[in-house]
Amino acid sequence: MPVRVDVSRGEVELPGEGTGRQVYTTAEDTGMFVAEATQLDVWPEQLDMAGDEISFNNVVRVAERVINWKEIRYHIQVEGRASCYYERRENG
């Protein structure tokens, strides 16, 4: 599922309507996992980990908050994809 975020232009392109989910793992998640794994007495052949499973729309909401975007509420459906366009708020 390709997702495109163009911070400089304030554009986000999501598959479908953005309700699909994907797992995101932070560097902190990975660090904690490795730290815990090094404390195991015996290492299994395989160790698995995963971060948070969130929707693409939720990723956009996080970007709005972090980058200080203000959403213009419209979607354009193009060949099964929704394009959501955003404009930045003036900081102040």
pLDDT-derived band of residue 82, with 50, 70 and 90 as boundaries? low
Calculate the average pLDDT of the chain.
Answer: 76
For the stretch 8-27, pLDDT in tens is: 777 777 777 778 888 888 89
Does 1 score more than 80 pLDDT?
no
17 against 29, higher pLDDT:
29
φ/ψ region of 8 (left if φ > 0, alpha if ψ in -120 to 50, else beta) reads: alpha
| Residue with tokens 């299994």, as numbered in its chain | 44
Residue 69, domain extent: 4-88
Rounded distance between C-alpha atoms, residue 60 and residue 24, angstroms: 13
CB atoms within 10 A of CB 17: 15
Tokens of 30: 């990975």
- Least reliable range by pLDDT among 3-12, 18-27, 59-68, 74-83: 74-83
Question: What is the number of structural domains in the chain?
Answer: 1
